[in-house]
């Protein structure tokens, strides 16, 4: 048991951080230049060098340890200059005159310089526009409108990623996923399935009923399916530049919507692969976009 306790005590001792090394000071004064002639080694404060018969004598010096202040007057007065470790073969070449030194004292190391300001970073922001598509029969006008046979057809989403920062942003991946309600109806929803020709995407008209095929605008990227999600490879973006991703989620067959107005999609820039997570707003959490069918009243 004693041996075990001893081992445990040794392990605890190993965990302790070593004590900081105490500060030390050493300076050597030389009567002649180039470290020649009579010398005097000092390790503490000396307000009057005449105590050592070395006043008005030094012409060169070496600081072996610590920081020192050298003064031409007694008690650290008159012209004073502070030095760190190093060698000075000619005292008269660096602020003090030869044969005029009267006192020396130890100094604390200078405070480290403040850290440089953080480098500018890219600032990726997102703006999102989405429309849902329905097939519905609407009777009446205004408050008397009646909606019959509402069938959800899908959602088209446009996500613009912009570099609002002052530095270029590396390439990133934009992922657009079905929200909770859409995911619950995954057997009805297909990522990227629609009937428009190549290079075109559906864009529902107001009230979400008519599905019009629209050519992708210049610079738009049409997302590709990745399981139940859609992804776009966003290129490198210079400051102020942007790229827009278009994603389509369609219904594989007619799905009667019992209560619509809370269909969601989630747009996530997966910046962890190529762009620092700290460089991008809301990274990982994503944005939820509520798709309401443009004020189409509930059936």
CB neighbour burial string for 138-160, b if at least 16 within 10 angstroms, e if fewer? beeeeeeeebeebbbbbbbbbbb
Q: Are 266 and 143 in contact (CB under 8 A)?
A: no
pLDDT at 291: 38
pLDDT at 147: 62
Rounded to whole angstroms, what are the CA distances from 221 to 137, 142, 178?
34, 38, 19
pLDDT at 67: 96
As given in the structure block, the two tokens for residue 187 are: 């057997």
Q: How many angstroms separate the CA atoms of 264 and 290, rounded?
A: 5
Intervals of the chain under pLDDT 50? 1-8, 257-264, 269-299
Q: Are 101 and 91 in contact (CB under 8 A)?
A: yes
Q: What is the pLDDT of residues 64-100, one digit of tens each?
A: 999 999 999 999 999 999 999 999 999 988 789 999 9
How would CATH label the architecture of 124-291? Sandwich (2.60)
Residue partners of 161: CB distance under 8 A and separation at least 6: 124, 125, 126, 172, 174, 234, 237, 242, 243, 244, 245, 269
Q: Please compute, for residue 174, the number of CA atoms within 13 A of its CA located in the half-sphere on the CB side.
A: 32
pLDDT at 87: 94
Rounded to whole angstroms, what are the CA distances from 9 to 5, 82, 169, 194?
6, 46, 53, 72
How would CATH label the architecture of 21-107? Sandwich (2.60)
Cβ atoms < 10 Å from Cβ of 173: 18
Q: How many angstroms separate the CA atoms of 105 and 70, rounded?
A: 7
**Range(s) for CATH 2.60.20.10 in the chain?**
21-107
**Range(s) for CATH 2.60.40.10 in the chain?**
124-291
CA angle, 132 as apex, 127 and 137 as ends, to 5°?
155
- DSSP symbol at 84: -
pTM: 0.52
As given in the structure block, the two tokens for residue 73 are: 């007057």
Q: Are 49 and 103 in contact (CB under 8 A)?
A: yes
As given in the structure block, the two tokens for residue 265 are: 């999609």
pLDDT at 17: 74
As a residue count, the chain comes to 299
Q: How many angstroms separate the CA atoms of 221 and 174, rounded?
A: 11
As given in the structure block, the two tokens for residue 57 are: 């004598």
pLDDT at 100: 94
pLDDT at 216: 85
């Amino acid at each position: 048991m004693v041996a075990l306790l001893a081992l445990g005590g040794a392990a605890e001792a190993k965990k302790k951080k070593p004590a900081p090394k105490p500060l030390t000071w050493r300076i050597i004064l030389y009567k002649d230049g180039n470290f020649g002639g009579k010398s005097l080694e000092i390790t503490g404060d000396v307000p009057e060098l005449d105590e050592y018969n070395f006043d008005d004598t030094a012409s060169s010096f070496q600081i072996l340890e610590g920081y020192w202040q050298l003064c031409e007057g007694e008690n650290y007065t008159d012209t004073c200059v502070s030095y760190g470790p190093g060698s000075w073969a000619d005292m008269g070449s660096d602020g003090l005159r030869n044969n005029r030194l009267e006192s020396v004292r130890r100094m604390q190391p200078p405070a480290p310089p403040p850290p440089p300001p953080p480098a500018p970073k890219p600032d990726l922001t997102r703006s999102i526009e989405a429309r849902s598509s329905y097939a519905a029969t609407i009777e009446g006008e205004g408050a008397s409108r009646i909606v019959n046979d509402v069938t959800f057809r899908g959602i088209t989403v446009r996500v613009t990623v912009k570099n609002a920062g002052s530095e270029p942003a590396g390439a990133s991946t934009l992922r657009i996923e079905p929200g909770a309600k859409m995911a619950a109806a995954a057997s009805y929803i297909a990522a990227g399935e629609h009937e428009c020709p190549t290079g075109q995407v559906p864009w529902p008209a107001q009230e979400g009923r008519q599905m019009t095929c629209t050519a992708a605008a210049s610079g738009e990227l049409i997302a590709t399916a990745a399981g139940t999600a859609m992804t776009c490879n966003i290129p490198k973006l210079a400051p102020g530049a942007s790229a827009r991703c278009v994603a389509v989620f369609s219904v594989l067959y007619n799905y009667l919507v019992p209560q619509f107005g809370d269909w969601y999609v989630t747009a996530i820039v997966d910046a962890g692969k190529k762009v620092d997570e700290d460089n991008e707003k809301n990274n990982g959490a994503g944005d939820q976009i509520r798709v309401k069918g443009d004020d189409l009243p509930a059936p």
